[in-house]
Chains A and B, each alone.
Chain A
Amino acid sequence: MTNILLFAVLPYAALAIFLVGSIYRYKNRGFSVSSISSQFLEGKKLFWGSQPFHWGLFILFFGHLIAFLFPSAVLAWNGQPVRLLILEIAAFAFGLSALLGLVLLILRRLTNRRVQIVTSKMDIVVYAILLTQIVSGLLVAYHSRWGSSWFSAFLTPYLRSVFVFDPQIDAIASVTSLSLKVHVISAFALIGIIPFTRFVHFLVYPVDYLWRSYQQVIWNWSRKHIRTSRSHSEGHKSKNN
């Protein structure tokens, strides 16, 4: 029963909350969608925390995504032991970097008076869940080695089954490694709280900056348009607001 709750109900609840909540917040509470950076209040320590943390997570996120989407490619890469070793060590290193960064960020928040002022309750939840997530991930990587191989054989089917609305929880439920279970559960919890926390900022990571032109001019109304009587009052809302 607990297993059903944790591995079948929680994922769907989390995904539903994530989808509905994020869209609602983006559309209706746009002002609140921000990374609410605190660099302005403290910039030096932030560097040592934020950089290793974000880049570590960034790489790990895509690592997990690739393992999930293209398991056969990962397995093929891992065919040679040397390559498997390289992948595992690299992944572990990024995990450590994320952990180190997170610890430094937490210390910064605990010790800097100005940053304390802008710390909300949800920030504490965010830190707790990230710490759980990263530590459990590192433990899994350490105790149940070669995860990049067994992930594809074992977790990918489970995640797939969740996404095709036919959850197969037997395999995951029978796992004995506590850290692995915690890692999976806290991952879904993390997804579920995205709309209620500053996590939303990763949804609005500005990739479109890469292809937009540098300068942006926005006309409140098109005078050219208004001057031709045929087009009069067709209603052209400005795109920006």
Chain B
Amino acid sequence: MDVRSQVSMVFHLDKCIGCHTCSIACKNIWTDRKGAEYMWWNNVETKPGTGYPTKWENQDIYKGGWEKNGDTVSLKGAGKFKGLKNIFHNPHMPVLDDYYEPWTYKYQDLFTAPEGDDQPTARPVSLVTGEHMDVQSGPNWDDDMSGSIDYARQDVNLEKLSAAEREAMFQLERMTLHYLPRICNHCLNPACVGSCPSGALYKRGEDGIVLINQERCRAWRMCVTACPYKKSYYNWNTGKSEKCILCYPRLESGQAPACFHSCVGRIRYLGVLLYDADKIAAAAAAPDDRLVDAQMDIYLDPFDPEVIKQARLNGVADSTITAAQNSPVYKFVKVWKLALPLHPEFRTLPNLFYVPALLPTMATVSDGVYNSTSKSLWNGVESNRLPMKYLASLFSAGDTGKVTEVMKRLMAVRLHRRGVTVGDLNAAEISQALKEVQMEPDTADAIFRLTALATFDERFVIPPAHREESIEMLENTGDVKGNTGFGFKEKPVRGL
């Protein structure tokens, strides 16, 4: 057992209101620079939709992620041979137009326009070329299913649905959407790291954050292709790739990442998961129907004395183990089994988990009447507006059983809480719902609490970074004893 700690995340999709505050917080801090304008380390997509960059989930186009190759996995569009062969031209790399051409407006024209009959306008100018441009698309062009023929119907996840099922989804009465906020998953088997020819990408041992060393990146662009989530971006100005850094400077000083901190819907949770690094290779190569289970098996019980012992032996700090025990992510993912990884079939073992949205999938229409008794809601889980096949394509590599199970658990919590707060439901029905998913009323209350009422410190359980120890490893603190402030640039020795 090789116990390591990983800072991991849960996004509760039922709570996301699609306000994009998270994206803006990130943009203002990290990507408001030349060459990075088009990057959205955090972006919020509308599902069904094509996302950003367009059709990123379609690996026939972008060849991202790993594919199963017997007992192991190999990179789909990169790797030692393919990488060095394609280094002069990477055939599957997304280009600027697959994202969008960033622009601003010539605001000055509003003030300097000569007097005339027409209102002056601020025309859009490209942030790449500086020339006037016609805006063709933007990062949220398909927000709230706008232009759903061009976008929603092109969603890759619809492939698993029959034509009739697809059509049903787009009837006006049945139409539904939910938001999908995405950041880098700081994967356990990161394809970006594996694909980098110059070895610039690495995973931090202490917290599992995946970073790009800007000094070593040589613009070979392989990570851009290899990341199946398209969360590694190429800065066309500096000639270096960049990606989400999970705000590690904030984390190290005990603050939540900016997108977490600013999240209006409070959908985001962050905490430590302890995992067994020895199991990564096997889990990444698990058969499709075992993928989610195999990944869940990697994460360890932080209360298990054996795990604690091994973690200590491996140098995991006690404060980190405590953080793992209080981790909201551990509860959502392992204890309550409510959160699933996005596209586990990419085999990168992502560490961002999603509680699927229950709300828009609920009510169904028959003969133009909404059926909203609890009974029909309950029955509706399988036959609801957002087909299980669609959700399964997003969150469980096509296994509808997995998402249905999660949905039923979420529904049980909801019925139970309705019983508590409104009390208009049949008690037998509620206990039947709870029994079916083997959930105690107490558990349902705890889930409700962490979902709806959790405080800042309950949502973000950040392990101390122990920077003091880090400093001790880099230099002998005894050497700088007696120095002041930031120390001396030269050793304070007597001059000649």
Q: How far is the CA of A212 from the CA of B473 in the complex (A)?
A: 26
**A160 located at the interface, meaning its Cβ lies under 8 Å from any Cβ of chain B in the complex:** no
Q: How far is the CA of A46 from the CA of B197 in the complex (A)?
A: 20
Q: How far is the CA of A239 from the CA of B244 in the complex (A)?
A: 22
**B369 located at the interface, meaning its Cβ lies under 8 Å from any Cβ of chain A in the complex:** no
A47, closest chain B residue (CB): B89
B93/A113 in contact, CB under 8 A: no
Q: How far is the CA of A55 from the CA of B89 in the complex (A)?
A: 11
Interface size on B, residues (CB 8 A): 61
Give the distance to chain B from A161, nearest Cβ to Cβ, in Å.
Answer: 35
B194/A214 in contact, CB under 8 A: yes
Q: Known contacts being A37-B221, A41-B236, A50-B89, is A218 close to B203, with CB within 8 Å?
A: yes
B193 / chain A contacts, CB cutoff of 8 Å:
214-216
Taking chain A's interface residues, is the majority helix, strand, or loop, or is none over half, making it mixed?
Answer: loop
Q: Known contacts being A40-B96, A219-B206, is A204 close to B218, with CB within 8 Å?
A: yes
Near A by CB (< 8 A), chain B positions 52-101 give 75, 79-80, 83-84, 87-91, 93, 95-96
A216/B474 in contact, CB under 8 A: no
B206, closest chain A residue (CB): A220
A237/B96 in contact, CB under 8 A: no
B204/A220 in contact, CB under 8 A: yes
Near B by CB (< 8 A), chain A positions 220-241 give 220-227, 232-238, 240-241
Among A33, A116, A212, which residue has its beta carbon within 8 angstroms of that of B218?
A: A33
**A177 located at the interface, meaning its Cβ lies under 8 Å from any Cβ of chain B in the complex:** no
Q: How far is the CA of A34 from the CA of B239 in the complex (A)?
A: 6
| Size bin of chain A's contact surface | 35 or more
Among A42, A51, A208, A240, which residue has its beta carbon within 8 angstroms of that of B213?
A: A240
Q: Known contacts being A204-B198, A209-B83, is A237 close to B474, with CB within 8 Å?
A: yes
A224/B314 in contact, CB under 8 A: yes
B315/A218 in contact, CB under 8 A: no
Given contacts A35-B239, A214-B194, 16 further A-B contacts (CB under 8 A): A34-B239, A37-B221, A40-B95, A40-B221, A46-B89, A206-B218, A214-B193, A220-B205, A221-B472, A223-B317, A225-B473, A233-B476, A235-B476, A237-B474, A240-B202, A241-B215
Binding site for B on A (CB under 8 A): 30-31, 33-43, 46-47, 50-51, 53-55, 113-114, 116-118, 201, 204-206, 208-210, 212, 214-227, 232-238, 240-241
18 contacts between A and B (CB under 8 A): A30-B215, A30-B216, A35-B218, A35-B239, A37-B219, A39-B90, A41-B95, A118-B236, A118-B237, A206-B199, A209-B84, A215-B203, A216-B203, A223-B317, A223-B469, A224-B315, A235-B476, A240-B213
